[in-house]
Amino acid sequence: MGHLRIPLLSLLVFLLNLSSFHFLSLADDYFINCGSHENVSLTSGQNFSGESKSAGYSFSKSKAVKDINQLPDISPLYKTARSFNKPFYYQFSITEDGTYLVRLHFSAFSSSSSSNNLSTAVFGVLDSKNFTLLNNFTAKNTTYSPVIKEFFLRIDITDSFRLYFTPQPSSFAFVNAIELFLSPVDFIPENYTSNLPLHTIYRLNVGGSPVNDTIGRKWETDDSHISDQNSAKKATPQSTLNLDRYGKIDGLVASNASVAPLLVYQTAREMTNVTSNITWLFSVSSKARHIVRAHFCDIVGQPGNIIFNLYANGNFRKEIGIISQYSAVPFFYDFVVNYSESELFNISIRPNNGASEQNAFLNGLEILEIVEGLAPIPNVKESKKNVVAPVVGSVLGGLSLICVLTVGFVFGFRHRKAEKHVETSVWSPMPANGGGSSHSSALNLDYLGLKISFNEIQSATNNFDTKLVIGKGGFGNVYRGTLLNGTKVAVKRAYKRDEHGSGSGQGLLEFKTEIIVLSKIRHRHLVSLIGYCNERSEMILVYEFMEKGTLRDHLYDSDVPRLSWNQRLEICTGAARGLHYLHTGAARGIIHRDVKSSNILLDENHVAKVADFGLSRSGALDETHVSTNVKGTFGYLDPEYMMSEQLTEKSDVYSFGVVLLEVLCGRPAIDPTLPREQMNLAEWGMLCKKKGLLEQIVDSSLKNQIDPSSLRTFGETAEKCLQDDASDRPTMADVLWDLEYALQLQKTTKLKEAHEDSTTIAASSAAFSLPIVQRFPSLGSTTNGDDTRDSDLDTTENKIFSQLKIGDAR
């Protein structure tokens, strides 16, 4: 039963460690001129910096080497390198999860210091996850014509992402320059969910000229790949594109300048003879799978609908139907090509016989190899002299260590106690500090499958249109939005981390907690998490959209029509069910810690759902929790928890008691405008209840609606919840039970009234006078499938009393 708890706690410890690193480090852009102190700009636009001790990266023992033939026409970038005859690495601090573009530049020269000609080097390149980016690589024939190897890598937040350069025995490894930065593009073909590295093999501007784009990608011409020059002709370039479309149409994704330069879409190849096909040939590794991205844009100038088929290795892949409205709209289509026997790979297009306009075209093509090879990471000789500690890391390392020790102590202590109760789960403490690369994978939330791209969120919210803001808070704004698939969502976007000081560390912790907690639970009365986004230092959570907003808005301080007593009871019952599930359901042992009327949301049918799990803590039922500091919202805080800092489910019960009073009285938990004794609703409500004056503080909009027995039951429930001593408070199961009872009492009254109003009382009136023992309040057991708690029947006699049966008479 504690299986959720231990990993969550260890993750929390771990996150706290990371979060302090996270917010203050530098941007994750690395452009390194290896083996040199000189800054160099390339004609293609990138600016490389000389190696520096204060740029967030470091490298292990190795040598800086220089070209002895100082030829003037060569960029200085390619006249120096870092080289070694044993494995060495570059280590990077990564402050944001995401897909990174990594480029390695190699240009062989003869170096004086090593008396080696770099052309003879044979080596591999590995990343921190053992992936073989390059295997038995040699830079022969690259003298003064550099080769650039480009990869897309998934990297999660870490201060120790490494690229290893591993020479073959008796050889050596080298690298002239390294680029590493967050990629604005990703490749996510349908049904492909792997996070394997991708290696760019081909990138073509079909029918056009070479292009260097703004992120340093080189688009080559397709001339050398066309199998039959006569089958295709260049389409007339078109400079105006239609960029107003976004989203996905039948697998084709609307594109824009960040996916590929618009120049790529402005040129194309089209058919010369519509009865044949156009085929492009590529040589690839037969031992690898590939991701192919084909770019299309109808610039061929025919008026009707062009429909053609796309083939890979002669097999049908996809019908590309570009109807006339999509003329000049750029699209791309991603797919995976499985291992094949041949080293030759071909892509063809041919018109679809049924189409009104017989033509086919292609504007761009990218082919990426999926890297699956693994190799052992070598032992690297560390060198004090060369290892440059990341500047931020060194300042904060100490800080985060203190954090971890504190929390680690608290949680570690908790754990020792917990061991007695938890038999099956494995406690795997995180290293107290850094601990090297063991860091890197633990933070990955991707396995949850909830990630949504920033781009999609931008388009869902019309780029965070302020008109769509439906809520604001200390954390940031909540926007209304619609995902590409039509789902209505609420998008909670935290303020950018760097705009806030130290408090933001807590923000990340709460962000991750909410994702982890919500991804584990699904319940009718808990708001569902649809996804999250942590690209570009954003912290965005995407929830199901709750049409009617917060419960609070329906109680006071707004123009929303007031809820009826019946509705209020239904809502309280629903919220109690949600909390009961948190405490005891499938994910049992979760304490919400911030129960309040603004965290209870209503859907279009006024069904209540509990939201905002950022402060949640998880733990076994029979245990109390020592938390690092008291959290929650003033006015709802359990006084016992404030004193003892012992967190239990009963703290939620207390807060829920305050919500019950808010619902009854239609006023906030704290109202500073009122006289002192009335200011705090919990105190005021309890005082009135004791004096038997609760009716006098009932929300005036409920006048004459409430059945007195329903009010009495409800008031008693709130009173029980608000007991100072946590052990005197009921469980949520008990509360739920009492609320259901209050609801039934109310419905019975209404029914009676309805019948009294009608002229046909006689027939059924007898039924209402027959008391039948049907339900027992406060038994701690319900008949309702998903919330059932199957034990602990509290058979206190005085709690049992009878009630009227109402059956299904409505």
Ligand X SMILES: *[C@@H]1O[C@H](CO)[C@@H](O)[C@H](O)[C@H]1NC(C)=O
Active site members: 594
**Segment 174 to 213, residues that bind ligand X, using CB under 6 A:** 190-191, 210, 212
Q: How far is the CB of 788 from ligand X (least distance, A)?
A: 36
Per-residue contact flags (x/-) with ligand X for residues 601 to 640, judged by CB under 6 A? ----------------------------------------
SS3 of residue 753 by DSSP: helix
* 115-123, 576-584, 627-635, 733-741 -> range binding ligand X (CB under 6 A): 115-123
With binding defined as CB under 6 A, does residue 125 bind ligand X?
A: no
Tokens at 336, concatenated: 């995976």
CA distances from 25 to 18, 92, 390, 403 (A): 11, 11, 9, 17
- C-beta of 276 vs 567, nearer to ligand X: 276
Task: Tell me whether residue 348 or residue 731 sits nearer to ligand X (CB atom).
Answer: 348
Residues in CB range of 275: below 8 A, 6 or more apart: none
| Interaction of residue 339 with ligand X, rule CB under 6 A | yes
CB 728 within 8 A of CB 790: no
Nearer to ligand X, 333 or 411 (CB): 333
- Contact between 651 and 638 (Cβ < 8 Å): yes
| The one among 323, 375, 387, 773 contacting ligand X by CB under 6 A | 375
Residues of this chain, 285-314, that bind ligand X according to CB under 6 A: 311, 314
Shortest Å, Cβ 214 to ligand X: 8
Mapped onto helix, strand or coil, the DSSP state of residue 755 is: helix
Min dist CB 229 to ligand X, Å, is: 13
Pairing of strands 30-33, 47-50: parallel
Is 464 in a helix, a strand, or coil?
Answer: coil
Give the H/E segment covering residue 163: strand 158-167
CA dist 777 to 655, 713, 714, 801, Å?
Answer: 21, 9, 11, 8
Q: In the range 256-285, which residues lie near ligand X by CB under 6 A? A: 256, 258-259, 273, 275-277, 279
Burial of 572 (0-12, 13-18, 19+ CB in 10 A): buried
**Near ligand X by CB under 6 A: residue from 7, 66, 110, 646:** 110
User: Please, what is the minimum distance in Å from the beta carbon of residue 37 to ligand X?
Assistant: 7
Report the site for ligand X in 750-789 (rule: CB under 6 A). none
Distance of CA 463 to the CA centre of its chain: 18
- Tell whether residue 462 is a contact of ligand X (CB under 6 A): no
**How many positions of this chain bind ligand X (CB under 6 A)?**
52
Closer residue to ligand X, CB minimum distance, 453 or 633: 453
**Residue 233 · residue 198 · CB < 8 Å:** no
798 binds ligand X (CB under 6 A): no
Please state, in angstroms and rounded to a whole number, the distance separating the CA atoms of residues 235 and 92. 45
Phi-psi region at 317: left, alpha or beta (left = phi > 0; alpha = psi -120 to 50): alpha
Binding of ligand X at residue 140 (CB under 6 A)?
Answer: yes
The residues, any chain, with a CB within 8 Å of residue 60's CB and separated by 6 or more, are 88, 89, 91, 380, 381, 382, 383, 386, 387
Burial of 437 (0-12, 13-18, 19+ CB in 10 A): middle
Nearer to ligand X, 135 or 194 (CB): 135
Minimum distance, C-beta of residue 30 to ligand X, in the bound complex (Å)? 10
With b meaning 16 or more CB within 10 Å and e meaning fewer, what string describes 642-653? eeeebbbbbbbb
Using Cβ positions, the residue closest to ligand X within the complex turns out to be: 455
Q: Does 464 engage in binding with ligand X (CB under 6 A)? A: no
- Which stretch, 94-102, 372-380, 495-503, 627-635, contacts ligand X (CB under 6 A)? 372-380
CA angle 183, 188, 192 (to 5 degrees): 140
- Minimum distance from CB of 488 to ligand X (Å)? 19
When binding is defined by CB under 6 A, the residue of 70, 113, 117, 774 that contacts ligand X is 117
Looking at the Cβ atoms of 170 and 191, the one nearer to ligand X is 191
Choice from 113, 145, 193, 338 touching ligand X (CB under 6 A): 338
Among 112, 113, 130, 784, binds ligand X (CB under 6 A): 130
Instruction: Tell me which stretch binds ligand X (CB under 6 A): 10-18, 42-50, 393-401, 645-653.
Output: 42-50
Pick from 27, 374, 395, 693 the residue near ligand X by CB under 6 A. 374
Alpha carbon distance 608, 473 (integer Å): 21
Binding pattern to ligand X, positions 376-395, x when CB under 6 A? Answer: xx------------------
| Dihedral sign for Cα atoms in the order 675, 677, 678, 679 | positive
Q: Does 41 contact ligand X by CB under 6 A?
A: yes
Of the pair 205, 778, the CB lying nearest ligand X is at 205
- CA dihedral (299, 302, 305, 307) positive or negative: negative
Q: Which of 175, 178, 235, 254 binds ligand X (CB under 6 A)?
A: 254
Residues 109, 479, 714, 741: which binds ligand X (CB under 6 A)?
A: 109
DSSP-based three-state secondary structure for 252: strand
Q: Is 512 labelled a binding residue?
A: no
Residues 69-108 that bind ligand X (CB under 6 A): 69
CB 332 within 8 A of CB 259: yes
Backbone angles phi, psi at 331, to 5 degrees: -135, 160
- In one-letter notation, the amino acid at residue 657 is G
One character per residue 420-459, x = contact with ligand X (rule: CB under 6 A) = ---------------------------------x-x--xx
Q: Count CB atoms within 10 A of the CB of residue 423.
A: 8
Return the number of the residue (314 or 486) whose C-beta is nearest ligand X.
Answer: 314
Binding residue positions for ATP: 492
Q: Which residue ranges make up the site for ligand X (CB under 6 A)?
A: 39, 41-47, 49, 69, 109-110, 117, 119-120, 130, 135-136, 138, 140-141, 143, 190-191, 210, 212, 253-256, 258-259, 273, 275-277, 279, 311, 314, 335, 338-339, 348, 350, 374-377, 453, 455, 458-459
Binding residue positions: 492
